[in-house]
Amino acid sequence: MKKFTLDELRRCDGTNGRPALIAYKGKVYDVTGSFLWQEGRHQVLHSAGADLTDAMADAPHGDDLMERVPVVGALIDD
Amino acid sequence: MARVAREMVEKAGVNVDQLIELLVKNAAAELTTYYYYTILRMNLIGLKGEGVKEIAETARIEDRNHFEALIPRIYELGGELPADMKAFHDMSACPPASLPKDPTDPMAVLKVLVEAERCAVRGYTQVCNMTVGKDHRTYELAVAILNEEIEHESWFSEFLGEGPSGHFLRRGDTSPFVGKFLQ
């Protein structure tokens, strides 16, 4: 499984044809094909290329929805 | 635009541009859902399908009402709808409620319906959370819509056998919660 640093993750922000990746609890998810992550943005408030672990607490959904998107790697310390 | 109304919301600490974008995305979800539910409803036939058709129709009409109720608030806050209908469709807060692979399977249609309602429940919960105690008018509207979306979810969920929720079908007019915003 590919390992991503936070810097590498930041570059995968879903804009300009780049993949849209997000991190959650140490795993990296590919949301590029998700209707809800077009252009790397999710419901106005969130952007791809970020670790959204802390944001889940305020989200109107649980982490069960993460099971719908593929895991493509793990987030490691820089 | 209702200039002072917008100023009051900004002064309360709401990012109004973000809020407007969310409202437009949810309005897009309502109108596209109205469209897709039309197709789903047409395919709810047969002994099982006909039993679901009536609530699908009620949800369809109420989702259109939600669209109608949202638009004045978007413009009051200084927002607008995109001029391009396709762009409006594509910016929806929820994925298209497309016909399932087997449109003759009422359970598959119900799963599409319940997923659409669950997306809406999440979306309006987010709007409520952003506006509670800060933007009273948007909050009241979002709560009204949320009440109806939760009932829609419950109806479809019950048909899927996920357990009782205690909600009856509509008696009388549609949109008992949102109706006052449609006067």
Which CATH number do you get for residue B167? 1.20.1260.10
Span A29-78, pLDDT tens digits? 999 999 999 999 999 999 999 999 999 999 999 999 999 999 999 999 87
Taking the C-alpha atoms of A67, A69, A72 and A74 in order, what is their torsion angle to the nearest 10 degrees? -50
Residue that the structure tokens 């900004």 belong to: B10
- Owning domain of residue B116: 12-182
* Selected residues 7-46 of chain A with any CB under 8 Å from a CB in chain B: 35-36, 38, 43-45
User: Are A43 and B93 in contact (CB < 8 Å)?
Assistant: yes
Structure confidence at residue A78 (pLDDT): 72
Structure confidence at residue A27 (pLDDT): 97
Structure confidence at residue B122 (pLDDT): 97
Residue that the structure tokens 């949320």 belong to: B146
Distance of residue B47 Cα from the nearest chain A Cα, in angstroms: 33
Residue B73 counted as domain residue:
yes
Structure confidence at residue A57 (pLDDT): 92
Q: Which domains are assigned to chain A?
A: 2-75 (3.10.120.10)
Span B18-49, pLDDT tens digits? 999 999 999 999 999 999 999 999 999 999 99
SS3 A36: helix
Chain mean position to CA A39 = 12
Residue B91 counted as domain residue:
yes
The mean per-residue pLDDT over the stretch B49-70 comes to 96
Span B87-128, pLDDT tens digits? 999 999 999 999 999 999 999 999 999 999 999 999 999 999
How close are the terminal C-alpha atoms of chain A, in Å?
17
On the 0-12 / 13-18 / 19+ scale of CB atoms within 10 A, B72 is middle
User: Are A35 and B129 in contact (CB < 8 Å)?
Assistant: no
Structure confidence at residue B128 (pLDDT): 98
Task: Please tell me which of the candidates B22, B121, B125 has its beta carbon nearest to residue A44.
Answer: B22
Among candidates A61, A27, A26, A29, which has minimal Cα distance to A45? A61
Residue B1 counted as domain residue:
no
Residue A1, pLDDT above cutoff 80: yes
B25 contacts on A by Cβ (under 8 Å): 43-44
Is 0.90 exceeded by the ipTM?
Answer: no
Range list of H helices, chain A: 6-11
Residue B144 counted as domain residue:
yes
User: Are A38 and B18 in contact (CB < 8 Å)?
Assistant: no
Q: What letter would DSSP give residue A13?
A: B
Residue B169, pLDDT above cutoff 90: no
Residue B21 counted as domain residue:
yes
A38 contacts on B by Cβ (under 8 Å): 90-91
Q: Under a CB-based contact definition with an 8 Å cutoff, are residues B159 and B125 in contact?
A: no
Span B125-164, pLDDT tens digits? 999 999 999 999 999 999 999 999 999 999 999 999 999 9
User: Are A38 and B90 in contact (CB < 8 Å)?
Assistant: yes
Structure confidence at residue B134 (pLDDT): 98
pLDDT band at B77 (very low <50, low <70, confident <90, very high): very high
Give strand pairing partners of A74: A3, A27
User: Are A36 and B25 in contact (CB < 8 Å)?
Assistant: no
Quote the mean pLDDT of chain B.
Answer: 96
Long-range contacts, A6-14 (Cβ 8 Å, 24+): A6/A51, A6/A75, A6/A78, A7/A78, A9/A49, A9/A50, A9/A51, A9/A75, A10/A49, A10/A50, A11/A49, A12/A48, A12/A49, A13/A40, A13/A47, A13/A48, A13/A49, A14/A38, A14/A39, A14/A40, A14/A41, A14/A47, A14/A48, A14/A49
Count structural domains, chain B.
Answer: 1
Residue B4 counted as domain residue:
no
pLDDT band at B183 (very low <50, low <70, confident <90, very high): confident
**Assigned token pair, B58:** 């009620």
